[in-house]
Amino acid sequence: MLMSSEKKKNKTLFERMWLNTLVYVRPVMLDGRCMYIIHAADGTPISIASGRESAFAVASQHDFSPVSLH
């Protein structure tokens, strides 16, 4: 089933909006400590936090929608 051009346009707009707000939080070991890196949807590191909760809080404070990555 083919999508109309209007539906394709709306889908593309939705995907762009989602990619601009979605970030993922990933745990990493740095100098023997578990830290949490906040990444943009494209994988670009944005920030780092000392705890999972603080990483989610920082992301939310900057109008991002954080998700966990295991």
- The pTM score is 0.70
Q: Which range of residues forms the domain containing residue 46?
A: 19-68
Q: In what order do the strands lie in the sheet with 45-49?
A: 45-49, 33-40, 22-30, 65-68
Q: Within a domain: residue 5?
A: no
More confident residue, 52 or 1: 52
Q: Within a domain: residue 57?
A: yes
Q: Within a domain: residue 12?
A: no
pLDDT tens digits, 13-67? 556 665 678 899 999 999 999 999 999 888 899 999 999 999 999 999 998 999 9
Q: Within a domain: residue 10?
A: no
> CA angle at residue 57 from 29 to 41, to 5 degrees?
70
Q: Within a domain: residue 4?
A: no
Q: Within a domain: residue 3?
A: no
Give the total number of structural domains in the chain. 1
